[in-house]
């Protein structure tokens, strides 16, 4: 059975002044419609205990366009406005399913600037993309080709905080198919001193992308703080700060893509630990380094690529004491100070590298999960002990 995978291919483009103005108006209208619909749905529930769905908000949009106050909504394509209502419906669906928090209002400064066009609102011919309400095609930088004979189903235009314009084309990719099966298995222990430690003994260095540009970023932030609020110079300084952040994020994302692709291609089964990054970020001393490591982004990439290529990702319970458990005899150490990098088992006398031992234990626990179909939650030395991953994060140096 062939599984059809839809992928988003993201490209940078350089709009003309007219196109940039049209897209900026569209972003504002999308934000306005989203906020109006959210306010209407919230008011209906608070006052009348009534649930308003997408069809009702779509009818409201028709009425809003006829009013004098919101007549400007007719100046942009209606498709991105309808898509904003669909996105709001998805947000409420996730909220009622307890997968997300209650939807929040979009703001001009903090919310992502984007607009989604479906096939009825754009034309894609001969490698040229023309959006509704625009006479000329977008000047796209084709950094990589689309799949052969690909027909985009949606085109999402966005602008990041650094002022860069992007278009994301969603289309089927026939090149994504399960890889040949292999017997290779690997346990992966995430950390800060080393970004990843594999059960094979390999340690992958943490690039520390944010630290490399920390001085440059601090200087740009100081210059931004000195500018008068509301001035053009302050906006220029803000852009400089945003460009540094964007550069850091691009390097980090590129590195994670390379690592996850390699792990998925080389291994049939990958075992990782369930990390509570939200709780770990409460540690003020390590929050910056944990954010820079991007463990959640690593896991997300690993899981969707494994699903694409027919691999398996096993997640071991966060309470599993991977560092204190001897991978040879299985004995559990009573104490493991945070500064201990190597230790010797009291029972069998084996000397362990802390991270490699943890990766080996994760691999063994993952195989037990795969065989038994149950979660891994072995007995801990103390009921009030912290999670193994939290202990790992606290003991690593910045």
Closest CA relative to residue 187, chosen from 199, 200, 196: 199
Decide if 1 is inside a domain.
Answer: no
Cα dist from 241 to 162, 168, 233, whole Å: 8, 24, 13
Q: Same domain for 199 and 336? A: yes
* Arithmetic mean of pLDDT, 282-296: 90
Is residue 319 included in any domain, yes or no?
yes
Query: 3-state class of 102 per DSSP?
Result: coil
Question: Given a cut of 80, is residue 98 above it in pLDDT?
Answer: yes
Per the CB < 8 A criterion, the answer to whether 314 and 270 are in contact is: yes
The pLDDT-based confidence of 387 (bands split at 50, 70, 90) is: very low
Please give the pLDDT value at position 381: 36
Residue 290 and residue 336 share a domain: yes
Residue 379 scores a pLDDT above 80: no
Q: Check: CB of residue 389 under 8 Å from CB of residue 318.
A: yes
Three-point CA angle 292, 365, 99, nearest 5°: 55
Task: Tell whether 151 and 197 lie within a shared domain.
Answer: no
> By percentage, how much of the chain surpasses pLDDT 70?
91
Residue 285 inside a domain? The answer is: yes
Based on the domain organization, do 26 and 103 belong to the same domain?
A: yes
Question: CA dihedral defined by 175, 177, 180, 183, rounded to 10 degrees?
Answer: 130
Both structure tokens of 68: 């004098």
Does residue 352 form part of some domain? yes
Regarding whether 192 and 283 lie in a shared domain, the answer is: yes
Both 350 and 389 in one domain: the answer is: yes
In a domain, 325, yes or no: yes
- Residue 376 confidence (pLDDT) above 50: no
Q: Are residues 165 and 17 in the same domain?
A: yes
For residue 141, being part of any structural domain is answered with yes
pLDDT at residue 211, as a whole number: 93
Size of the chain, expressed as the number of residues it contains = 398
Give residue 363's domain range.
185-206+242-395
Q: Is residue 177 part of a domain?
A: no
Q: Which of 55-59, 172-176, 250-254 has the lowest mean pLDDT?
A: 172-176
192/331 same-domain check:
yes
What domain count does the chain have? 2
Q: Does residue 235 form part of some domain?
A: no
Q: Give me the pLDDT at residue 245, please.
A: 96
Tell me the average pLDDT across 180-195: 91
Cβ-based neighbours of 243, under 8 Å, separated by 6 or more: 162
Q: Is 314 exposed, middle or buried (0-12, 13-18, 19+ CB in 10 A)?
A: buried
Distance linking the first and last C-alpha atoms of the chain = 48
Determine the average pLDDT of the residues in 99-124. Answer: 95
Alpha carbon of residue 115 to chain centroid: 19
- Residue with more model confidence, 323 or 52: 52
Q: What is the pLDDT of residue 378?
A: 41
At 372 the pLDDT is: 63
Among 6-10, 299-303, 334-338, where is mean pLDDT lowest?
A: 334-338
On the question of pLDDT at 193 being above 50, the answer is yes
| One domain, residues 158 and 197 | no
Side by side, which strands form the sheet with 203-205?
Answer: 203-205, 194-198, 185-190, 269-273, 312-316
CB of 310 within 8 A of CB of 289? Answer: no
Q: Let me know whether 161 and 196 are in one domain.
A: no
Query: 21 and 132, same structural domain?
Result: yes
CA–CA distance, 61 with 45 (Å, rounded to integer): 19
pLDDT band at 354 (very low <50, low <70, confident <90, very high): confident
Quote the Cα angle for 11-127-170, to 5°: 50
42 φ/ψ angles, rounded to the nearest 5 degrees: -65, -45
Task: Round to whole Å and give the CA distance between 271 and 189.
Answer: 9
Q: Which residues are catalytic?
A: 189, 273, 355
Same domain, 289 and 326: yes
On whether the CB atoms of residues 122 and 69 are closer than 8 A, the answer is no
Which pLDDT value is given to residue 389? 41
Give the pLDDT of residue 380. 37
pLDDT bracket for residue 285 (50, 70, 90):
confident
Min mean pLDDT across 225-234, 287-296, 381-390 is at: 381-390
| pLDDT band, very low/low/confident/very high, at 209 (cuts 50, 70, 90) | very high
**Which residues face 198 on adjacent strands?**
188
Dihedral of alpha carbons 193, 289, 188, 382, sign = positive
In this structure, is the dihedral angle defined by the CA atoms of residues 139, 143, 147 and 152, taken in order, positive or negative? negative
Task: Examine the pLDDT at 398 and tell me if it is beyond 70.
Answer: no
């Amino acid at each position: 059975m062939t599984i059809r995978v839809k992928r988003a291919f993201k490209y940078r483009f350089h709009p003309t002044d007219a196109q940039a103005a049209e897209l900026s108006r569209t972003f504002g209208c999308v934000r306005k419609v989203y906020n109006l619909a959210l306010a209407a749905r919230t008011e209906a529930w608070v006052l009348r205990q009534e649930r308003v769905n997408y069809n009702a908000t779509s009818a409201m949009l028709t009425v809003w366009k006829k009013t004098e106050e919101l007549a400007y909504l007719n100046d942009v394509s209606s498709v991105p406005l309808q898509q904003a209502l669909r996105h709001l419906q998805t947000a409420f669906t996730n909220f009622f399913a307890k997968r997300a928090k209650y939807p929040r209002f979009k703001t001009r400064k903090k919310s992502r600037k984007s607009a989604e066009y479906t096939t009825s609102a754009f034309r894609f011919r001969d490698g040229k993309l023309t959006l509704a309400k625009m006479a000329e095609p977008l000047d796209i930088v084709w950094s990589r080709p689309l799949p052969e004979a690909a027909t985009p189903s949606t085109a999402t235009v966005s602008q990041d905080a650094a002022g860069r314009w992007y278009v994301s084309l969603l289309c089927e990719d026939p090149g994504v198919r399960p890889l040949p099966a292999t017997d290779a298995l690997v346990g992966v222990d995430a950390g800060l001193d080393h970004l990843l430690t594999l059960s094979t003994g390999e340690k992958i260095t943490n690039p520390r992308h944010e630290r490399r540009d920390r001085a440059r970023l601090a200087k740009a932030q100081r210059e931004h703080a000195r500018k008068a609020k509301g001035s053009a110079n302050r906006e220029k300084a803000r852009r400089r700060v945003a460009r540094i952040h964007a550069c850091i994020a691009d390097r980090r994302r590129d590195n994670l893509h390379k690592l996850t692709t390699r792990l998925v291609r080389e291994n049939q089964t990958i075992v990782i630990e369930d990390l509570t990054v939200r709780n770990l970020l409460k540690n003020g001393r390590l929050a910056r380094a944990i954010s820079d490591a991007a463990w959640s982004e690593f896991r997300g990439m690993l899981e969707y690529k494994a699903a694409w290529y027919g691999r398996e990702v096993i997640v071991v319970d966060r309470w599993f004491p991977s560092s204190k458990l001897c991978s040879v005899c299985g004995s559990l150490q009573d104490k493991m100070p945070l500064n201990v990098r190597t230790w010797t088992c009291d029972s069998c006398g084996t000397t362990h590298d802390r991270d490699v031992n943890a990766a080996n234990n994760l691999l063994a626990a993952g195989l037990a999960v795969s065989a038994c179909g149950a979660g891994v939650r072995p007995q801990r030395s103390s009921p009030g002990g912290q999670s193994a991953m939290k202990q790992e994060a606290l003991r690593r140096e910045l």
